[in-house]
Amino acid sequence: MSKAGHHLAELNVGRLLAPVDDPRVADFMNNLDRINGLGKRMPGFVWMAEGSGEPGTGNTETKIDGDPQYVSNLTVWEDAPSLETFVWGTVHKQFYERRTEWFEVMDKMHFVMWWVPIGHQPTIEEAMGRLDMLQATGDSEDAFGWSYLKDAEQWKTRRCAASAA
């Protein structure tokens, strides 16, 4: 269920198996612009944190804990169904299914959502704080996963087995 006067923010983080210029992650890096561009054209898309704008880099310049292989995706959507449609109803799902080819298996939660006032563009610091909150206390009004959202349905049947970012 959407929250009046708010949009849905999401952060997804992962650690690449190799540096961004390594052939082992080339398929992922070579498709960043394509997948991000698709997301930006989706109904319900609001905003995306972006790096330098250099082709093929996405937001990989945003280092988490100073680690160049630890990358993030931070976006804002009108509502959960819009985000779900992008994640599991487009070619994005094919790349999601291949994530173990490019990302390390995470030992803790690496995805969080929360409501932001319409017009707010969250920072990576804010988003990481929400992820920390979710890891520490589980789902709450301030930080949650898919199961917390009553109007989110596709994740139940279309998601892949949990393993990597």
Residue spans of the domains in the chain: they are: 6-158
Taking only the tens place, the pLDDT of each residue in 70-113 is 888 999 999 999 999 999 899 998 988 899 999 998 878 789 99
**CA-CA distance, 14 to 135, in Å (whole number)?**
15
Q: Are strands 45-48 and 70-77 parallel, antiparallel or unpaired?
A: antiparallel
CATH of region 6-158, choose from 3.30.2350.10, 3.10.180.10, 3.30.70.100, 3.30.70.270 = 3.30.70.100
Would you say residue 47 has pLDDT above 80? yes
Return the closest-CA partner of residue 10 out of 138, 117, 127, 118.
Answer: 127
Q: What ranges in the chain are assigned the alpha helix state H?
A: 26-41, 80-89, 92-97, 99-102, 124-137, 154-158
Nearest partner of 72 among 3, 125, 150, 7, judged by Cα: 125
pLDDT of residue 121: 96
Q: How confident is the model at residue 1 (pLDDT cuts 50, 70, 90)?
A: low
Element at 112 (helix H, strand E):
strand 111-117
Q: In the numeric block, which tokens belong to residue 42?
A: 């989706």
Q: How far apart are CA 72 and CA 57, in angstroms?
A: 11
Residue 165 — pLDDT band, cuts 50, 70, 90?
very low
Percent of the chain with pLDDT strictly greater than 90: 58
Q: Can you give the pTM of this predicted structure?
A: 0.87
Could you report the per-residue pLDDT of 2-39, keeping only the tens digit for each? Answer: 789 999 999 999 999 999 899 999 999 999 889 999 99
Of residues 67 and 155, the one with the higher pLDDT is: 67
Position 163 confidence tier, pLDDT thresholds 50, 70, 90:
very low
Amino acid 154: pLDDT? 64
Kindly state the tokens that stand for 144. 């949650």
